[in-house]
Structure formats: C-alpha cells, structure tokens
Chains A and B, each alone.
Chain A
Amino acid sequence: MEILANLAIGFETAFQLHNLFYCLIGVFLGTVIGVLPGVGPTATIAMLLPITFSLSPTSAMIMLAGIYYGAQYGGSTTAILMNLPGEASSAVTSIDGYQMARQGRAGPALSIAAIGSFVAGTFATLLIALSAPTLTKLALEFGPTEYFSLIVFGLVCSVALAHGDILKALAMVVFGLLIGLVGTDLYSGAQRFTLGFMELFDGIDVVALSVGIFGIAEILRNLENESLREATTARVGTLLPSRQDLRQSTQPIIRGTVIGSLLGVLPGGGALLSSFASYTLEKKLSKTPERFGKGAIEGVAGPESANNAGAQTSFIPMLTLGLPSNAVMALMIGALIVQGIVPGPNVVNERPDLFWGLIVSMWVGNLFLLLLNLPLVGIWIKLLKVPYYALFPAILAFSSIGIYSMGGNVFDLYSLTLFGVIGYFLMKVECEPAPFLLGFILGPMMEEYLRRALILARGDATVFFTSPISAGFLVATVFMLVIITLPFIRRRREEIFVED
C-alpha cells in the first residue's frame, strides 16, 4: 500500500502546526481578496505571491494553494450575492445562484456551493494521490523531444479549450513565449532583448508581469464604467439548506465532481470548461429544465462542484509534468522556480514532503473553507460593500509594496506599469491574458527542450515525427487545430462560451 505511506507523509507535513497555519491564512486571504469585486483568482495569487517567498517551499505552496481555492470560493460568493462573478468559471454559478439570492435563498445557495466544493475537493484530492505516481513514472520516460511536442500540444489545447478568438489566443501564446525569452541566454550568455537594462538580465519578473496584466488591466477596465459597480447585496437568510435542497443537489454534485475532475486535467480553462459542461448537463438531465435560470439549486450545485474539482485536478499536470495547464498553475510554477525547485516529475522523489504535503493540504484547505467561510459569510458581505474607488488604490498600494519587497528593485515597478497598460490594450482588443502567461512561463522551457532535442538528433528536425510519443502529440495538436476550425464545432464552441 504505497499510496497509504505516501498519504501518511502528506498528512504528517500538512498537519504540522505551521503548515496548518499557512493553509488557514491562505484560504482566509484568498477568500477576502476573492470576494472583493473585480479581483479574480489569478490577480489575487499574483498579488499575494511576494509574501510567500520568505516561507519554505512547502509552506509557500500550501499557502498559495489555499489562496487559490479561497479566491475561487470568494468568486462564487460574489457571483451568488451580487451577480458579479469574480472570474469566468463562476459566471455559470451566478445564473441560478443570483436568482436564488433574489428569492431570499442566498444562504442555501452558499451552503450548497461550499458543500459541493468540499465533496469535489475530497474526490479530486484522492484522484491526484492515486494518479500522480503513475503519471510521474510515465513522465520520467519523456526526453526533450517528447517534452517539446507535449508543450506544443498543451499550448494549442489551452487555446482551443479557452473562449475567445483562436487566432488571437495563438498570437498571445507566441507573444508570451517571446517575452519569456527576455534575459540572458543560458547557452551562449548572450543578452536577449534587454535593451541595455541590467535589471532585465534575469528576465522579466513573473509577479510584476502577472499583476500588471491581470490586476492593473482589470482595474483600468473597471474604471471605464464606474457607475455599474453599484450593486446591491441580497439578504442571506438562513444558511441551512432544506432537506429538499440537499436531495436535489446530491446527484448534480456527484456528476459535477466527475466532469470537473476529468476536464480539469486538460490544458486550458479546466475550471471554466467544467462548470459550463456541468451546467449544460444538469439542464439536459433535469425533468424540469424550465426552472434553470430561475433559481434552480442544481444549477449551483453541479457547476460549483465541477469547477472546484477542475481547479484541483489542474494541479496534476503541474505536479507530474511541471507544465502549467492554466494561468494559476503558471504562477505556481513561477513560485516554485523562485523557491529554487525545478517543477517536473522529479519533485515527487526529491521532495515527497512538498508533493504529498501539498496534496493533503488541498483537502485540509477545503475543510477550512467549509468550516470557516459559512460562519463568516456576514463579514464577506460587509466586504462586498467596500466601494470600488476605495478598493483599487489599496490593491495598487499592496501590489507596489509586494513587488518592490521581492528584490528591492524599482525596475519591477516599471514592468508593472508597462504590462498593466499593455494588458489593458490587449483586453480592449479582446485578447485573453491567460495564454500569454502560459507562454511566458513555458518560453524558456520550450527553447531548452528544442535545443536539446535537436542536439541529440544531430540537427535533424524530423525527430519530432519519428519518435512515436512526440509524433502522437503533434498529430493530436494538428487534429485539435483542424477540429476547432471546422464550422460546426466552432459554432458549438461559441455557444458553450457565451457568457451573457
């Protein structure tokens, strides 16, 4: 029973007092910031990244993971209470959740969301624990050729499964890859694209870049139309779901968990796709589909479980392959690199405490969410009433201090402004920032694998097609590209991701 021994290591690590503490702090901070209107999970994690750098790698990852589901849960809270989804994946929750809130049933909606998330989180944690060792063994077989093709496949998948224009998303990936190459070339020592700035020799700082492109850009967008930000909050009422609520939610929670766990592993908006898929499925299976959109509890239970399961299983590619499947995982990888740990299949053998501790702490974090957030819902509602014009200067101040505190380097603040403005422009022309961040993280890795693969193959580029695994990934990539450009699929895809 290797798995039990592994989980034992995990429990031992996660239940160390300081790790429990950081998990709790992470979940709490994540919820606080996630609840604030207009701040999504990616921006939240990016903003809070600097404060984890002084911790040990294990504690830092545990805290970051806590921030992640805290922020997710916070996003659902605003989606239900104010019809303001913090990010796209809770957009679905707001459809029926907000209607429930208007009918005075916000309490049960919030409880079901928390219970569903907890069930999903538990299942997904088990799934990760069971599948991770096998996947890591598989990944260790991969050479640079296979890795290169896998990254290509992952990037194209993440574009295909995200919403928005495919060409623009591809361009964002490539742009990200290029920005990721800024700095010293490790092979030749040449300075690339540093424009003579010494501060750029180590590359552009990942925190400054991501806070800029997610945080600042979002602030600017919100400033366009300030009057829309006056939202009224619904009364919560009793928190306890009725017996009928529970009965109606059981099956959607189970189905959502399964869908989310499967889709979450795929690159691209794991959480997003799974919540949409779950909602569609529940509506199809329901005997009373006309209730959907008018406050059906199934429409909250399914998607909330699905997006939490998806959020959790999206850790699988990150932990086993060292490859990010979404923007949040890209930040996690960035954090690991800053901590001096090379993400990839070796982590499980070299740092079993980190690997298993993180997995178990996910479950602990979900438990905290359930035990903490429901009783504290009154505080979250108070937070929702903070006016935006008081909020964003605070976000800016925290980000500036955080970014400055990382290296005492004012240059990172220039990057913050620059990428904030670029991010806002790209947002205006409807280019999603997530593929950009994925590219940014993967750029150096991709180049490294390409170089090593071609050196091994003596410069023969056909190696990518003669190695069977690599060829498989590339064929799958082409297949993916062909599929999403087919008119029929494209129409379906646009339908699925219609948000409003």
Chain B
Amino acid sequence: MISNPKDTAAGLFFIAAGLFFCLNVWFNLQVGTALRMGPGYFPIALGAILALLGLAIIFKGMFTQGTPFGSVAIRGVVFVGLAPLIFSVVVLPLGLVAAIFLSTFVASLSSQRSGIVFSLLLSLGLTIFCVLVFSYGLGLPYKLVGPWLQWIGG
C-alpha cells in the first residue's frame, strides 16, 4: 500500500530522470578522469545523485502519510498543451493570423466555463490585438498570411 503517493511519484520521476542521464552518458559520452574530465563526467555524477535522491524521497514517503493527488486538469493538460504545438505547426504554412486564432481557440476549449461562442469571440479579439501589437507595433517580421493561404489575398 502506498501511503504517500506524491512522494512516490516524485521519487520515481527523479530516479527515471537520473537513470536516463546516466545511461545516456554510458552509451554516448566519454566520462574521463578528474584531471581530464570528459563531457560525461559531471552529468553521470549528477545523474547518480538524482537517482539516489529519488530513492531517498520514496523511502521517506514510506514512513509518512501523504495527501492524495487531488483532481488533475486532464482537459487542461490536453488543450493547453496542444495550443503551442498547434501554433508551431500552423505558423509557417498558414501564417501568424491563423496560428494565433487557432491556438487561442484550442486553449480556451480547456476551460469548462467558456462556451464555443465566447471562445470564438475571444480568439478573434486576441488575434486582432496581437497582430496590431506584435506585427504593426513591434514590427515582428513574420508573415501574417502564410504561403498556403496566399490565394485568398490573390
């Protein structure tokens, strides 16, 4: 029975991260000696320390009573996490206007309190605002309308 789920999860995460760095060094980088330190020396030491700290956190968690995770904003993680990705996919082919509009719209879907109409209006308003501020105000050199949409403007 896990008495302290948060500590256990944190510990496992740090162990995994520490091992990742150690193994990566082991297979790809030279460790070297203290005098001739290779690119792997410092990271493999840190990786080992991190994994040990992870173990200690789990160990400590076995003797303490923790609080449960509570609710997780799954919808938030999905849509908020998607927003920058959508921006990154859209900005080159479709341009800045579409990137801002689509990523804002997707982001606002993660809230349970804003409806579709509100999200659309918000995205529209923000797009206009951002284009005015960033493209005309600060003069960012990015295409407002990307090559895939050039036909619209003729």
Residues of B within 8 A of A171 (CB): 10, 14, 50, 53-54, 57
The verdict on B100 contacting chain A, using a C-beta distance below 8 Å, is yes
Judging by beta carbons under 8 Å apart, are A390 and B69 in contact? Answer: no
Nearest CB in chain B to that of A430: its residue: B6
The verdict on A221 contacting chain B, using a C-beta distance below 8 Å, is yes
Judging by beta carbons under 8 Å apart, are B91 and A175 in contact? Answer: no
The verdict on B95 contacting chain A, using a C-beta distance below 8 Å, is no
Distance in angstroms between the alpha carbons of A468 and B34 in the assembled complex: 21
The verdict on A23 contacting chain B, using a C-beta distance below 8 Å, is no
For A213-226 the 0/1 string (1 means CB < 8 A from B) is 00010011101111
Judging by beta carbons under 8 Å apart, are A167 and B53 in contact? Answer: yes
For B38-59 the 0/1 string (1 means CB < 8 A from A) is 1110110011011001101100
A-B contact count (CB 8 A): 197
Count of residues in A whose CB is under 8 Å from the partner chain? 68
Judging by beta carbons under 8 Å apart, are B80 and A174 in contact? Answer: no
Pairs A–B under 8 Å by Cβ, sample size 6:
A167-B53, A188-B30, A193-B24, A390-B108, A400-B99, A429-B13
Judging by beta carbons under 8 Å apart, are B69 and A428 in contact? Answer: yes
Judging by beta carbons under 8 Å apart, are A413 and B88 in contact? Answer: yes
Partner of A177, one of B46, B60, B73, B105: B46
Partner of A397, one of B88, B89, B100: B100
Residues of A within 8 A of B6 (CB): 428-430
For B96-113 the 0/1 string (1 means CB < 8 A from A) is 100110011101101111
Interface locus among A114-122, A375-383, A404-412: A404-412
Judging by beta carbons under 8 Å apart, are B75 and A223 in contact? Answer: yes
Nearest CB in chain B to that of A54: its residue: B138
Distance in angstroms between the alpha carbons of A216 and B85 in the assembled complex: 13
Question: Using a CB–CB distance below 8 Å, which chain B residues touch chain A?
Answer: 6-7, 9-10, 13-14, 17-18, 21, 24, 29-30, 33-40, 42-43, 46-47, 49-50, 53-54, 56-57, 60, 69-73, 75-77, 80-85, 87-89, 91-92, 96, 99-100, 103-105, 107-108, 110-114, 118-119, 122-123, 126, 130, 134, 138, 140, 142
Distance in angstroms between the alpha carbons of A421 and B54 in the assembled complex: 20
Distance in angstroms between the alpha carbons of A431 and B49 in the assembled complex: 17
Q: Is the interface of B mostly helix, strand, loop or mixed?
A: helix
The verdict on A348 contacting chain B, using a C-beta distance below 8 Å, is no
The verdict on A190 contacting chain B, using a C-beta distance below 8 Å, is yes
**From residue 356 to 403 of chain A, which have CB atoms closer than 8 A to chain B?**
387-390, 392-394, 396-401, 403
For A157-176 the 0/1 string (1 means CB < 8 A from B) is 00000000101101100110
Residues of A within 8 A of B91 (CB): 404, 410
Distance in angstroms between the alpha carbons of A446 and B77 in the assembled complex: 34
**From residue 210 to 242 of chain A, which have CB atoms closer than 8 A to chain B?**
216, 219-221, 223-226
For A428-443 the 0/1 string (1 means CB < 8 A from B) is 1111000000000000
The 9 tightest CB contacts between A and B, nearest first, are A459-B35, A223-B76, A410-B88, A389-B111, A185-B39, A429-B10, A413-B88, A171-B53, A190-B39
Smallest distance from the beta carbon of B54 to chain A beta carbons, Å? Answer: 6
Judging by beta carbons under 8 Å apart, are B54 and A404 in contact? Answer: no
